Structures are given as C-alpha cells and as structure tokens.
C-alpha cells in the first residue's frame, strides 16, 4: 500500500516535511498541490523537525474536518495484541487508547460482551476493509501463539490474569506468566466481565500445559467461610435456625447460598468442634442450649 493510499484518518504514514511555519511543519501529501499539505502542529511534534525530514505520523481529522498529523503514533504494531483502555463507546462500537493521538475504532462486531468506557480489554490492531486502522477483541489465535505451557507451577498456586473470552462452559484468561487458563462456570464466585483481571487458584494442570483454575476458596478454607456464614445467620436468629442435615438442598441454597454438600461439611465441622447441636430438624448454638 503506498503512502497515498494510506492518507486517511486513523492511519500511520511516513511523510516528508516540505515547509515549516510558526504553526508547525507541513508534510507532502503527494498530490502535487501544496493546498493538500498536511499540518504537523508544533504541539504534535515529539521533537523539532526540519525541511527534508521524513517523519512517521498518525493521521486524524481536526475539528474542522481537515487531515492533520501527529507524531504520537500507535504503540502497537499491526497484528499485535495488548491490553488497551476503552476511552469512548458509541452505538456502532468503541474507541480504544493504543497510544496514538486519537482513539482507534473497535467495531461492534469485534466486541466481546458489553464493553464500557474506562474498562481495559485484550485487543488486536488491524487494518479494516476500508484501509483504516481498527482494533478487535477477537484475540484467541494470537494469545494461543503467545502462550507458554505451565511448567513451573503446581496445583494450589494462585495466578492472576485477564479474561479474554467466554464460552458456554466458562471463561478463558491469559495470565501474567503467559499461561492460558480455563475457569469453569461452576468455579466462579461471581461472573467476571471480559477484560477483567482476576486472581484464581490452579486446580488442574493439563498435559498440553494449560491450566484449570477456580475463584472459589480451597475446600478447607471454604468450610471455614461457610461455617462463619452459618454462625452469622444463627446469631441473628437468637442462636438457632430451622435448617439441618434434613433440610432440602433447595432451601439451603435459597437461605444460605451454598450447596447441601458444603452445608453438611460446615455443619459437621461445627458439631465436631462442639459449637452447634442438631435437634428435631433445627440447629442450635450449644451455649444457647446451656443457658435455657
């Protein structure tokens, strides 16, 4: 693609300085008409330029619709993937900060989920069919190529990374160590958004070097969390509750937001430690029984 083909907004081009004024430098648009020269304003210059210099610039439209240049070009190469911040959203898509003078457009078709201003997401820089730079959140292939196998971690270790895709089964994240991790729906405490950074515990290391992770606490820690939740409920009810091992899983889930199995593990721990006692379908704090 020649420079003339690339002289469009949201593109990068290498252009020659043909004249300099108090306002800044004027770049040759290659049309043979000096009226088409493109202004590189002084405030858009990374360093002073002189006639004859060839400069790499980002092109955009000024408020009057004129093609203008800036030496603040994208910090990503075409085809490169990086974490970028969403700086604006429209009904047609969004604009992402890739380090250029202006945000680069992300078409709606390239979005994953409901992207909001201020969020940071994985994105790839590319050239669209009209020849303009654009970004997309479709980055699976690039992240797979950039990933490395998880060889220096073990089950139980924690990793942090950002979600880059969802499937029916769960979410995929790319960790800071460049591992690809899968987070199953059942292992989420709450559903994270695409782009969100999370900490997760490794539950399985696959033969291909990928890992499975969980946002839930390990079983022993989960028992402690669930037991504390049960005691909080009982303390708020005068030291007793009408739920026990005999209560249905549906009621346990509705009242305590935990599975029946988790409830039984936590209750078992509290009984073993002599903190609670069950009687006729109810659970009582032992100190309450002693006092009455």
Interval 115-152: pLDDT, tens: 999 999 999 999 888 888 899 999 999 999 999 999 88
Distance from C-alpha of 41 to C-alpha of 72, rounded to nearest angstrom: 12
Distance from C-alpha of 8 to C-alpha of 3, rounded to nearest angstrom: 10
In a shared domain, residues 189 and 223: no
What is the residue range of 160's domain? 148-214
Position 58 in a domain? yes
Phi/psi for 177 (5° steps) reads -85, 0
Phi/psi for 56 (5° steps) reads -90, 120
Least confident of 68-72, 146-150, 271-275: 271-275
Distance from C-alpha of 250 to C-alpha of 239, rounded to nearest angstrom: 22
- Whether this prediction's pTM lies above 0.75 is answered by no
Closest C-alpha among 71, 74, 105, 100 to residue 88 = 105
Mean pLDDT value across residues 174-183? 95
Q: Check pLDDT > 60 for residue 292.
A: no
In a shared domain, residues 61 and 16: yes
Give the SS3 label for residue 227: helix
Pair 233, 244: CB distance under 8 Å: no
| pLDDT, position 1 | 43
The beta strands (E) that lie in 99-157 are given as: 104-107, 120-127, 133-136
Position 75 in a domain? no
In a shared domain, residues 62 and 112: no
Position 230 in a domain? yes
What pLDDT band is residue 222 in, cutting at 50, 70 and 90?
low
In a shared domain, residues 120 and 135: yes
Q: Which of 35, 70, 105 is the last residue of a domain?
A: 70
User: In this predicted model, which residue has the larger pLDDT, 6 or 63?
Assistant: 63
CATH no. for residue 15? 2.40.50.140
Q: Which of 70, 96, 121 is the last residue of a domain?
A: 70
What pLDDT band is residue 273 in, cutting at 50, 70 and 90?
confident
Q: Residues near 161 by Cβ (< 8 Å), separated by ≥ 6?
A: 173, 174, 175, 176, 179, 181, 197, 198, 200
Question: For tokens 């979005």, what's the residue?
Answer: 111
């Amino acid at each position: 693609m020649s420079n003339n083909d690339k002289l469009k907004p949201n593109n990068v081009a290498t252009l020659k300085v043909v004249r300099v004024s108090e306002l800044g430098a004027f770049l040759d648009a290659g049309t043979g008409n000096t009226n088409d020269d493109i202004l590189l304003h002084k405030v858009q210059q990374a360093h002073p330029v002189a006639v004859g210099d060839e400069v790499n610039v980002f092109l955009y439209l000024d408020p009057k619709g004129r093609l203008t240049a800036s030496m603040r070009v994208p910090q990503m190469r075409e085809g490169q993937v990086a974490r970028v911040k969403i700086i604006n959203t429209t009904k047609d898509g969004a604009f992402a900060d890739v380090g250029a003078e202006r945000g680069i457009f992300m078409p709606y078709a390239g979005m994953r989920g409901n992207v909001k201003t201020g969020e940071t997401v994985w994105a790839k820089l590319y050239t669209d069919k009209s020849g303009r730079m654009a970004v997309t959140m479709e980055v699976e292939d690039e992240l797979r190529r950039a990933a490395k196998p998880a060889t220096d971690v073990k089950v139980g270790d924690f990793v942090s990374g950002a979600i880059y895709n969802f499937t029916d089964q769960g979410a995929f994240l790319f960790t800071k160590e460049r591992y690809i991790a899968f987070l199953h729906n059942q292992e989420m405490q709450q559903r994270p958004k695409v782009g969100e950074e999370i900490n997760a515990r490794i539950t399985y290391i696959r033969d291909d070097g990928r890992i499975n992770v969980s946002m839930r606490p390990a079983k022993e820690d989960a028992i402690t969390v669930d037991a504390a939740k049960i005691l909080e409920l009982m303390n708020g009810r005068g030291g007793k509750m009408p739920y026990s091992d005999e209560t249905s899983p549906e009621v346990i889930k509705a009242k305590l937001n935990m599975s029946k199995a988790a409830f039984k593990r936590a209750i078992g721990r509290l009984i073993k430690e002599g903190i609670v006692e069950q009687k006729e379908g109810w659970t009582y704090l032992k100190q309450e029984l002693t006092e009455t």
